[in-house]
């Protein structure tokens, strides 16, 4: 007996499709290796053409899937690979492992075997946990990306099904809705716009928040037509494309539909992973690159491992310590061999329990024993202590309220835990301009046409909005038919990429679907919801319509028969008599996202009839579609009064274009509609005018201009817009001497001096025959598939864009962020050389540099354009230097005169830079000038520069979060950079420099005490102190104090550091951590070790004190002297710090009391029971401690007093 299949069953998990045998659900496939070594072009056939299981498809075997991972480790290799990384990047760890293994050799063991493993296991384990936490954070972020959803065509269901990104394969046909991210690199094949176009936002790719237009290939434009019956299963084309590469601006591919029917694929036909669909209801396409083969993933390489300058120098110090260790080991082993040679009988050697070995064997054994005894000379506890200090420093930086921006509700995000001290040693700051120094908020301020300049300033109450110029407003109203004026404003309105967005874009595929007789929200498998399709669904699941499935017309509250949205997706429902019932307000869960509704909501209840389904669908449609549509006011009225609307109706590829369209709307020049072949505008005389677009010559970085050709009564009319250097040079020869043109050019120069972004507008009429010939040639080049296609199109456009007539110019303001001048001034006073890298023209860049306070007002300005200028500049110091593109290339080539000039410069400004040149310039400063570089930017195009620098700072701004995700520290505003460097950077450097020196001193002190003892024990390698105490002393007894000091100590408070930026020179010139400081502290440690040992030795000389008692004297002296040494370094005392010092001194005594009551003697004739109490009853113990501390610390105390007398308020250097 078979159990009937339930028809009305709903589970929340059913709203997502998990393909059968998906890798994460099939453990066997985890171990299935799939090579991806591509040697030629890819040939991709759609997956729906094959009947084989999904994960046996050729596209799955040959190409990577869409799952990404940016983690360093996997669950299988985490422990071994992490330990290998620790050993390979920190050679001291290899040394510590060698010592631990050596202690297991019977001849060499100086400590209990397991005791010797404690330090290295603790260090490796702690770092392993830290790295595991960091990698877990990366995994969580990857998981969020991989679990995003998208609709993929399922061949078996003949339907789109919602699935997670990680299950998408090359060859899949995907459906993406408005405001959704593109999951992979796909070829666009269908759009909700009948013209076959769509718009995307690419801030995650190139840092630009402006919209870009994409279009379907020419031969499949019909797929997007309103009357098209296309389904993905109808697509049988074969895609041939190149191997994956990093270039996001080029693509070489073709689609062959059938023999002789081929489309050449260009970048405008591609939707790249990471871009976002905007102003388009939906798009569909085929995946050609997935996962790590996508262009964004190939460009976003793993963040490089960065090591601070202090750590690099410390590695050199440790090598010096190791050399010193080898000398001591060789000396000890030699002395041991000599001793045995001079005392050949057992009776003369105390405590010998076996036959005495030969001098050679004794010397060989002594090498291992001394390696173990002297191992602390290479400080094992240093690394773990420094990791803890850095983590706590990062914690306090992250919680600094003065680095919080209330406007954006963003605090500083410290993404790197390894290099806080690098913030205190920066010598060069290389900064992006737009969005970093400026607000990246373009505002229309000035324009000039017909010899007259018109301009306004922003209001104090609302400086971010354009202000109407009354003079221009009157001029426009009084001379509406002036041809110069008409062509100037028509050029602005027509020659741009601005899109009019007056209706919401709701993809009905996101509303719901039938599956197993149940309507599921948010996982549609069809386009049109109809009675017929509903019956077909019932038949597919083996259920006949019943009374409960009544298909009679339900009460639809007056809904129309057909609801059509955006002319593409249609929901067909039944109409009934109108109802007076008002449309209820949508619930929050439904209003925000249908997918977030709970299973208990009415939407998720099983629908037992078409009537029930219709009512539910009616509610969804009315709430999510009809209400927004009913609120839309007439288009022209909305556009003219857009400033009073909450939603801006315009979206554009360029923020400059958007600023112009919004600005001239104040004067009743309004863009009403932009279609593929026409543009409709409104003029001040309240007339609507429609222009037919004949051709668009898009903007490119080589031409630096854009043109459109429209119809006019006089024939084809070309409107051109671009940079002054690109337009002025293409004017007619008569224009060069025309006084009117010269007047406008002078206004243009004034705009640049004000720091405004300038554009020039020109026009010309084209003879019809000339245009026809040009159009034929241009279309022929459009179909070319060679690598020279873009270059040839640009050269062809140049042929038409000449002999132009200037219409006018505009000036757009990109306002500086608050606090930028003060911040740049503080950095300059701190001695940091600040560079600004911008793509602007010379005049604009120079004015921004002046207004922002980049240039020192009392320093001369030098523009370098060639080698002669560089040679002249190299003879002077403290210049404000401006570098042209030619000079930038000279610097990258390593021109000696230019490098010398840059090394001496006060500030540097580079203009007309491309994004790729920024990272190259960072490397130039690092390698040629030997600077410690901080790079700061806010866009994805700044990521290479940020990752190449010693310290990368990202600004979480309007260009997306790509820079903030790739950086070491993310801040909300540029002004926070001064506090981050001058306060936290200085503190971190000061604290860690002293911490490193203290540990090097402390360990040298401990080792040389053992060394001095060897002179009195026959160089036997015996340790004078308790071996367990000797192992844990540097890790427990003397690690907490430097941690607290390393986190809280201050040589200056934050107010002093902010008011006196010159204090930053301490870290910038590395005044606290040099070779001389290393030698001074090590020598001081050696001297103090001699005092500790010989004062104890003389105190107990000729007494009956045991070795345990002598060890207790020395251990107590060590912690007192080490604590006193650290106390002399502290500049910021607090009662908690005093309590901590006292606690560990008393803890020292407590440890010995406890140990001597529980641990017996080891190879010592007298047990240590009650030894500490007996020793402390002896007055010799107390006066020896006083004498030891005074004599040991006297030189350091005296030198510090002299230094403070000669240079009050300064630290030793």
**Three-state SS annotation for 59-101:** HHHHCCCCCCCCCCCCCCCHHHHHHHHHHHHCHHHHHHHHHHH
Same domain, yes or no: 830 and 917: yes
Question: Per mean pLDDT, which range of 178-187, 380-389, 484-493, 524-533 is the poorest?
Answer: 524-533
- pLDDT on residue 1168: 63
Find out whether 1204 is annotated in a ligand binding site: no
Find out whether 432 is annotated in a ligand binding site: yes
Q: Residue 8 above 70 pLDDT?
A: no
- pLDDT on residue 553: 31
Q: Could you read off the pLDDT of 1062-1110 as tens digits, one per residue?
A: 999 999 999 999 999 999 999 999 999 999 999 999 999 878 777 878 8
Given 759, 792, 810, which residue is the final one in a domain?
810
Angstrom distance (rounded) from CA 684 to CA 663: 14
Q: How many residues does this entry show for the chain?
A: 1213
Would you give the distance in Å from CA 493 to the centre of its chain?
37
Angstrom distance (rounded) from CA 724 to CA 709: 20
And the tokens for 1023? Answer: 């340790």
Angstrom distance (rounded) from CA 1005 to CA 1010: 9
**Residue 750 belongs to a domain with what CATH number?**
3.40.1110.10
Q: Is residue 308 part of a domain?
A: no
Angstrom distance (rounded) from CA 1003 to CA 993: 16
At residue 81 the predicted structure's pLDDT band, cuts being 50, 70 and 90, is: confident
Angstrom distance (rounded) from CA 246 to CA 295: 5
Output the CA torsion sign for 528, 530, 533, 537. Answer: positive
Q: What is the mean pLDDT of residues 413-429?
A: 90
Angstrom distance (rounded) from CA 1114 to CA 1013: 11
State which residues form the domain around 590. Answer: 508-520+528-630
- pLDDT on residue 1124: 94
User: Long-range contacts for 347-350 (Cβ within 8 Å, ≥24 apart)?
Assistant: 349/1018
Q: Residue 927 above 60 pLDDT?
A: yes
Output the CA torsion sign for 422, 427, 432, 435. Answer: positive
Same domain, yes or no: 796 and 775: yes
- pLDDT on residue 464: 66
Same domain, yes or no: 426 and 452: no
Q: Is residue 612 part of a domain?
A: yes
Angstrom distance (rounded) from CA 559 to CA 541: 30
C-alpha dihedral, 690 to 691 to 696 to 699, nearest 10°: -70
Find out whether 1068 is annotated in a ligand binding site: no
Q: Is residue 360 part of a domain?
A: no
Same domain, yes or no: 682 and 763: yes
Given 908, 940, 971, which residue is the final one in a domain?
971
Given 96, 121, 149, which residue is the final one in a domain?
149
Q: Is residue 348 part of a domain?
A: no
**DSSP helix/strand/coil, 829:** helix
Same domain, yes or no: 799 and 920: no
And the tokens for 23? Answer: 């890798």
Q: What are phi and psi of 1154, to 5 degrees?
A: -65, -45
Q: Residue 648 above 80 pLDDT?
A: no
Same domain, yes or no: 516 and 600: yes
- pLDDT on residue 1060: 94
- pLDDT on residue 210: 66
Q: Residue 325 above 80 pLDDT?
A: yes
- pLDDT on residue 27: 46
Same domain, yes or no: 180 and 225: yes
Q: What is the mean pLDDT of residues 283-301?
A: 86
At residue 415 the predicted structure's pLDDT band, cuts being 50, 70 and 90, is: confident
**E-only strand ranges, 635-780:** 650-651, 670-674, 678-682, 688-697, 705-710, 717-722, 757-765
Buried b / exposed e over 681-702, threshold 16 CB at 10 Å, is bbbeeeeeeebebbbbbbbeee
Catalytic residues: 432
Same domain, yes or no: 53 and 79: no
Q: What is the mean pLDDT of residues 1031-1037?
A: 74
Same domain, yes or no: 144 and 195: no
Q: Radius of gyration over alpha carbons of the chain, in Å?
A: 38
- pLDDT on residue 633: 37
- In percent, the amount of the chain with pLDDT more than 90 equals 32
Find out whether 433 is annotated in a ligand binding site: yes
Q: What is the DSSP string of 510-533?
A: GT-EEETTEEETT----S---HHH
**Among 1028, 1076, 1182, 1197, which Cα is nearest to 1129's?**
1197
**Among 1065, 934, 1046, 1053, which Cα is nearest to 993's?**
1046
Pair type for strands 969-971 and 907-910: unpaired
Q: Is residue 670 part of a domain?
A: yes
Q: Which residue has the higher pLDDT, 1110 or 37?
A: 1110
Question: Per mean pLDDT, which range of 410-419, 429-438, 727-736, 838-847 is the poorest?
Answer: 838-847
**Residue 967 belongs to a domain with what CATH number?**
3.40.50.1000
Q: What are phi and psi of 849, to 5 degrees?
A: -65, -40
Same domain, yes or no: 493 and 562: no
Question: Per mean pLDDT, which range of 498-507, 568-577, 972-981 is the poorest?
Answer: 568-577
Q: What is the mean pLDDT of residues 156-184?
A: 91
Find out whether 938 is annotated in a ligand binding site: yes
H or E stretch at 163: strand 159-164
Angstrom distance (rounded) from CA 683 to CA 741: 26
Output the CA torsion sign for 1109, 1114, 1119, 1121. Answer: positive
Angstrom distance (rounded) from CA 1168 to CA 1152: 10
Q: What is the mean pLDDT of residues 601-618?
A: 39
CB 83 within 8 A of CB 90: no
Q: What is the mean pLDDT of residues 478-485?
A: 86
Q: Is residue 356 part of a domain?
A: no
**DSSP helix/strand/coil, 597:** coil
Find out whether 279 is annotated in a ligand binding site: no
- pLDDT on residue 618: 42
Average pLDDT taken over every residue of the chain: 79
Q: Residue 1162 above 90 pLDDT?
A: no
At residue 847 the predicted structure's pLDDT band, cuts being 50, 70 and 90, is: confident
Same domain, yes or no: 1012 and 1095: yes
Q: Could you read off the pLDDT of 451-472 as tens digits, one per residue?
A: 899 987 765 556 667 788 888 9
Q: Could you read off the pLDDT of 848-897 as tens digits, one per residue?
A: 787 788 888 788 889 998 899 999 999 988 899 999 888 988 998 889 99
And the tokens for 520? Answer: 């599921």
Q: What is the mean pLDDT of residues 12-35?
A: 55
Q: What is the mean pLDDT of residues 650-656?
A: 78
Q: What is the mean pLDDT of residues 623-646?
A: 41
Q: What is the mean pLDDT of residues 646-662?
A: 77
CB 1036 within 8 A of CB 1119: no
At residue 623 the predicted structure's pLDDT band, cuts being 50, 70 and 90, is: very low
Angstrom distance (rounded) from CA 886 to CA 285: 43
Q: Residue 1153 above 60 pLDDT?
A: yes
Q: Is residue 826 part of a domain?
A: yes
Q: Residue 797 above 50 pLDDT?
A: yes
Q: Could you read off the pLDDT of 168-178 as tens digits, one per residue?
A: 999 999 999 98
Q: What is the mean pLDDT of residues 610-630?
A: 42
**Among 879, 936, 927, which Cα is nearest to 902's?**
879
Q: Is residue 1166 part of a domain?
A: yes
Find out whether 464 is annotated in a ligand binding site: no
End-to-end CA distance of the chain: 92
Q: Could you read off the pLDDT of 689-734 as tens digits, one per residue?
A: 999 999 999 887 677 889 999 999 999 999 999 988 889 989 998 8
Same domain, yes or no: 118 and 200: no
- In percent, the amount of the chain with pLDDT more than 70 equals 78
Burial of residue 117, with CB atoms counted within 10 A of its CB: 0-12 exposed, 13-18 middle, 19 or more buried: middle
- pLDDT on residue 959: 55
And the tokens for 341? Answer: 């040679």
Q: Residue 351 above 70 pLDDT?
A: no
Domain count, the chain: 6
At residue 565 the predicted structure's pLDDT band, cuts being 50, 70 and 90, is: very low
- pLDDT on residue 616: 45
- pLDDT on residue 506: 65
H or E stretch at 639: helix 635-640
Q: Which residue has the higher pLDDT, 1154 or 196?
A: 196
């Amino acid at each position: 007996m078979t159990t009937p299949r339930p028809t009305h069953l709903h589970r929340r998990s059913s709203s997502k499709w998990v393909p059968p045998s998906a890798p994460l659900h099939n453990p066997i496939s985890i171990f299935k290796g799939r090579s991806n070594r591509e040697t030629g072009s890819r040939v991709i056939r759609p997956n729906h053409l094959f009947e084989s299981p999904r994960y046996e498809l050729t596209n799955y075997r040959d190409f990577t899937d869409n799952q990404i991972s940016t983690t360093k480790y996997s669950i299988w290799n985490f422990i071994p690979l992490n330990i290998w990384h620790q050993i390979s990047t920190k050679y001291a760890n290899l040394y510590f492992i060698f010592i631990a293994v050596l202690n297991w050799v019977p001849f060499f063991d100086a400590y209990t075997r397991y005791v010797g493993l404690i330090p290295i296991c603790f260090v490796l384990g702690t770092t392993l946990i830290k790295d595991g936490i960091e990698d877990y954070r990366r995994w969580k972020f990857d998981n969020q990306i991989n679990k995003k959803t998208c609709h993929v065509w399922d061949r078996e269901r003949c339907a789109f099904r919602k699935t997670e990104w990680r299950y998408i394969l090359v060859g899949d046909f995907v459906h993406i809705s408005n405001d959704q991210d593109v999951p992979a690199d796909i070829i666009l094949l269908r759009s909700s716009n009948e013209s076959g176009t769509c718009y995307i936002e690419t801030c995650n790719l190139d840092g630009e928040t402006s919209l870009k237009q994409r279009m379907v290939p020419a031969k499949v434009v019909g797929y997007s037509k309103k009357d098209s019956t296309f389904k993905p299963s109808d697509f049988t084309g074969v895609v041939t494309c190149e191997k994956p590469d990093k270039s996001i601006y080029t693509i070489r591919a073709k689609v062959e539909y059938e023999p002789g029917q081929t489309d050449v694929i260009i970048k405008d036909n591609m939707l790249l992973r990471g871009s976002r669909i905007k102003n388009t209801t939906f798009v569909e396409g085929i995946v050609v690159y997935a996962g790590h083969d996508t262009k964004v993933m190939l460009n976003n390489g793993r963040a490089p491992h960065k090591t601070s300058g202090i750590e690099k120098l410390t590695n050199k110090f440790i090598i010096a310590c190791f050399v010193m260790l080898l000398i001591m080991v060789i000396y000890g082993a030699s002395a041991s061999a000599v001793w045995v040679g001079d005392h050949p009988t057992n009776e003369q050697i105390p405590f010998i329990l076996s036959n005495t070995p030969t001098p050679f064997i004794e010397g060989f054994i002594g090498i291992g024993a001394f390696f173990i005894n002297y191992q602390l000379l290479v400080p094992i506890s240093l690394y773990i202590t420094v990791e803890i200090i850095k983590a706590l420093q990062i914690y306090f930086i992250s919680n600094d309220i003065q680095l919080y921006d209330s406007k954006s509700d963003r605090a500083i995000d410290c993404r790197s835990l390894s290099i806080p001290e690098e913030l205190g040693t920066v010598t060069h700051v290389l900064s992006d301009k737009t969005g970093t120094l400026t607000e990246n908020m373009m505002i229309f301020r000035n324009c000039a046409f017909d010899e007259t300049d018109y301009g306004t300033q922003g209001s104090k109450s609302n400086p971010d909005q354009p202000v109407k110029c009354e003079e221009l407003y009157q001029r426009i109203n009084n001379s509406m038919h002036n041809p110069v004026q008409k062509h100037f404003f028509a050029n602005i309105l027509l020659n741009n990429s601005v899109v009019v967005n007056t209706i919401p874009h709701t993809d009905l595929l996101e509303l719901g679907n039938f599956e197993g007789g149940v309507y599921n929200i948010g996982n549609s498998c069809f386009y049109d919801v109809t009675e017929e399709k509903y019956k077909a669904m019932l038949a597919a699941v083996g259920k006949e319509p019943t009374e409960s499935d009544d298909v009679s017309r339900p009460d639809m509250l007056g809904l129309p028969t057909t609801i059509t949205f955006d002319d593409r997706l249609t929901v067909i429902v039944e109409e009934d008599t109108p109802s007076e019932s008002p449309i209820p307000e949508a619930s929050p869960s439904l209003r925000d996202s249908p997918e977030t509704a709970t299973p208990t909501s009415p939407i998720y209840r099983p629908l037992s009839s078409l009537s029930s389904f219709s009512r539910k669908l009616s509610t969804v449609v009315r709430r999510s579609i009809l209400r927004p549509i009913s609120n839309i006011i007439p288009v022209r009225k909305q556009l003219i009064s857009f400033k009073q609307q909450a939603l801006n109706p315009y979206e554009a590829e360029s923020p400059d274009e958007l600023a112009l369209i919004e600005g001239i709307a104040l004067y009743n020049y309004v863009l009403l509609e932009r279609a593929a072949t026409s543009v409709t505008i409104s003029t001040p005389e309240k007339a609507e005018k429609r222009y037919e677009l004949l051709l668009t010559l898009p903007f490119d970085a080589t031409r630096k201009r854009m043109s459109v050709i429209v119809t006019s009564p006089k024939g084809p009319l070309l409107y051109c817009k671009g940079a002054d250097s690109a337009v002025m040079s293409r004017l007619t020869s008569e224009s060069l001497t025309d006084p009117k043109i010269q007047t406008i050019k002078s206004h243009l120069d004034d705009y640049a001096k004000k720091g405004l972004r300038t554009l020039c507008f020109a026009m010309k009429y084209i003879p019809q025959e000339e245009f026809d010939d040009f159009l034929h040639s241009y279309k022929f080049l459009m179909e070319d598939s060679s690598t020279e296609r873009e270059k040839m199109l640009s050269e062809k456009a140049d042929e038409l864009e000449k002999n132009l007539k200037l219409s006018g110019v505009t000036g757009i303001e990109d306002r500086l962020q608050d606090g930028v001048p003060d911040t740049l001034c503080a950095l300059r006073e701190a001695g940091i050389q600040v560079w600004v890298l911008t793509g602007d023209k010379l005049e604009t860049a120079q004015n921004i540099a002046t207004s922002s306070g980049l240039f020192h007002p009392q320093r001369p300005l030098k523009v370098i354009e060639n080698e002669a200028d560089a040679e002249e500049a190299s003879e002077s110091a403290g210049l404000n230097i401006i570098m042209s593109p030619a000079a930038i290339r000279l610097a990258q080539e390593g021109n000696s005169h230019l490098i010398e000039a840059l090394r001496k410069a006060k500030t540097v400004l580079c203009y007309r830079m491309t994004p790729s040149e920024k990272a190259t310039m960072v490397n130039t400063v690092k390698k040629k000038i030997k600077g410690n570089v901080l790079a700061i930017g806010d866009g994805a195009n700044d990521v290479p520069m940020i990752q190449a620098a010693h310290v990368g700072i990202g600004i979480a701004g309007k260009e997306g979060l790509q820079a903030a995700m790739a950086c070491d520290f993310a801040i909300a505003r540029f002004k926070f950079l001064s506090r981050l460097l001058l306060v936290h950077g200085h503190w971190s450097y000061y604290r860690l420099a002293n911490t490193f020196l203290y540990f090097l001193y402390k360990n040298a002190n401990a080792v040389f005490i053992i060394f001095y003892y060897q002179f009195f024990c026959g160089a036997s390698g015996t340790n004078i102190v308790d071996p367990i105490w000797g192992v844990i002393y540097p890790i427990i007894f003397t690690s907490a104090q430097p941690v607290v000091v390393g986190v809280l100590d201050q040589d200056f408070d934050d107010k002093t550091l902010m008011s006196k930026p010159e204090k930053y020179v301490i870290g910038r010139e590395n005044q606290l951590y040099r070779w001389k400081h290393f030698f001074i502290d090590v020598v001081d440690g050696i001297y103090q070790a001699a005092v500790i040992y010989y004062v104890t030795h003389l105190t107990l000389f000729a007494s009956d004190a045991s070795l345990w008692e002598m060890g207790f004297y020395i251990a107590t002296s060590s912690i007192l002297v080490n604590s006193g040494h650290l106390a002399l370094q502290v500049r910021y005392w607090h009662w908690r710090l005093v309590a901590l010092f006292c606690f560990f001194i008393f803890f020292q005594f407590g440890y010995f009391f406890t140990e001597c009551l529980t641990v017996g003697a080891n190879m010592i004739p007298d047990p240590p029971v009650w030894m500490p109490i007996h020793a402390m009853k002896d007055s010799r113990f107390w006066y020896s401690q006083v004498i030891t501390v005074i004599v040991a610390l006297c030189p350091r105390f005296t030198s510090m007093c002299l230094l403070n007398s000669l240079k009050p308020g300064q630290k030793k250097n």
